Structure 1
Amino acid sequence: MQVRGVDPRDTTWEQDDATYRAYFWDKPALASDEYEVTGADVEEVLAWARAMAEETDSTYTLYVCVTDEGSPGLVRLSGTAGDPFA
């Protein structure tokens, strides 16, 4: 991990309400269940994803949804990197 100080004036926008995507990977079935989550902060979503993964005996990947030059995309926040079946 690398940490450096930053000037907070280097960004041009900020958004308080985030949309998250959670993927739960079921390795024996080679399948995943996907959910979109709104109306919660990242700590609430992480707690839910961890509990859901434990309850369903799966691994998870949590993303925040972003838009870059008009195209939707995902930024991984936590969990398994990429498709574990690939």
Structure 2
Amino acid sequence: MHVREVDPRDTTWEQDDATYRACFWDRSAKAADDYEVTGADVDEVLAWARAKAAETGSAYTLYVRVTDEGRPGLVRLSGVAGDPFA
């Protein structure tokens, strides 16, 4: 992990409401269930994702949905990185 102090003026926008994508990986069935989550902060979504993964016995990946030059994309926040079926 690398930590450095930054100037808070180095960004041009911020958004208070985030859209999250949670993907739950069932490795035995090689299948995934995806959910979109809004109206919650990251701590609430992480707690929900961890509880659901424990309840279902699946692995999970939590993303925040972002837009770059008008194209939607995902930034991983927690959980499995890469292809969980590899």
Which TM-score tier does this pair reach, normalised by the shorter chain? over 0.9
Percent identical = 81
Which residue does 2:47 correspond to in 1?
Answer: 47
Which residue does 1:33 correspond to in 2?
Answer: 33
* In the alignment, structure 1 residue 59 sits paired with structure 2 residue 59: yes
SS of equivalent to 1:78: strand
> TM-score when scaled to structure 1?
0.98
Task: Return the offset for 1:85.
Answer: 1.0
What does residue range 1-86 of structure 1 map to in structure 2 within 5 Å? 1-86=1-86
Give the Cα–Cα distance (whole angstroms) in 1 for the partners of residues 64 and 43 of structure 2. 12
SS of equivalent to 2:77: strand
User: Where in structure 2 are there 5+ consecutive unaligned residues?
Assistant: none
SS of equivalent to 2:83: coil
Code of the aligned partner of 1:82: G
Give the Cα–Cα distance (whole angstroms) in 2 for the partners of residues 69 and 33 of structure 1. 27
User: Where in structure 1 are there 5+ consecutive unaligned residues?
Assistant: none
Task: Return the offset for 1:82.
Answer: 2.0
